[in-house]
Amino acid sequence: MSKKVLLNSKEIEIILHRLACQLIENHNDFSNTALIGLQPRGSFLAKRLASILTNDYHVENIHLGLLDITFYRDDFRRRDEPLEATNTQIDFLIENKNVVLIDDVLFSGRSVRAGLTAIQSYGRPKNIELLVLIDRRFSRHLPIQPNYKGRQVDAIDKEKVIVHWKESHNKDGIYLENK
């Protein structure tokens, strides 16, 4: 098993700032925008982006939500390991809002598909965009593409992208692991 560094903490910091700027370009003051992190892994990225937008770019009143997609997944009862649900925290209505779904790695697109269904339980958004930190090209099972992406990676199926966050692993870092 080998492990290669895809992005170090400095590069991640630069990419997060770029993604934040791209969001500002399209969403101005964020008054009608909701950032929704897909639980569990997308929530770290969503929180980090929200904090950069607030602290570094002085965007006020960001609507940040965390969405659990467990009950909307299409692989319920088809996996070896049972699914474990996490919390959903969305304390605002998303009716007519511009929603940005946020996840760390886009692989098959199935989590995002589940997220698209799940978000509709909170109303009808005006539109939905997708932001991912790592876009694994050539591995999609569904016709889903990101609007904002940190880095595009060409990885074969037996390789795995591992994302570490300061909040959970003490240090930011993205690795490519060969199983």
Partner 1 sequence: MKQLSVEHLLGIKYLNKNDIDLIFETANHFKEVINRPIKKVPSLRDITIANLFFENSTRTKLSFELAEKRLSSDIINFSASQSSVKKGETLIDTVNNILAMKVDIVVMRHPNVGAGVFLSKHIDAKIINAGDGTHEHPTQALLDSYSIKEKLGSLKGKKIVIVGDVLHSRVALSNIFALKLQGAEVKVCGPTTLIPKHIESLGVKVETNIQKALEWCDVANVLRVQHERMDVKYFPSTREYTQLFGINNEILDNLGKKITIMHPGPINRGVEITSEVADSNQSIILNQVENGVAVRMAVIYLLAQQIKR
Number of residues that bind partner 1 (CB under 8 A): 21
Question: Which among 16-24, 28-36, 40-48, 84-92 is the span making contact with partner 1, rule CB under 8 A?
Answer: 84-92
Cβ contact 105:96 at 8 Å: no
Give the other-Cβ count within 10 Å of 127's Cβ.
10
CA atoms of 85 and 144, how far apart (whole Å):
24
Q: Which residue has the tokens 């996490």?
A: 86
179 binds partner 1 (CB under 8 A): no
178 binds partner 1 (CB under 8 A): no
158 binds partner 1 (CB under 8 A): no
Subset of 110-149 contacting partner 1 (CB under 8 A): 117-118, 120-123
What CA–CA distances, in Å, run from 38 to 5, 11, 44, 177? Answer: 24, 23, 9, 23
- Residue among 57 and 76 whose Cβ is closer to partner 1: 76
CA atoms of 22 and 5, how far apart (whole Å):
25
Distance in Å, CB of 85 to partner 1, minimum: 4
Dihedral over Cα of 88, 147, 49, 91: its sign:
negative
Cβ contact 142:109 at 8 Å: yes
Site string for partner 1, 36-75 (x = CB under 8 A): --------------------------------x-xxx---
Q: Which of 8, 28, 87, 178 is the binder for partner 1 (CB under 8 A)?
A: 87
91 binds partner 1 (CB under 8 A): no
Which parts of this chain interact with partner 1 (CB under 8 A)?
68, 70-72, 76-78, 81-85, 87-88, 93, 117-118, 120-123
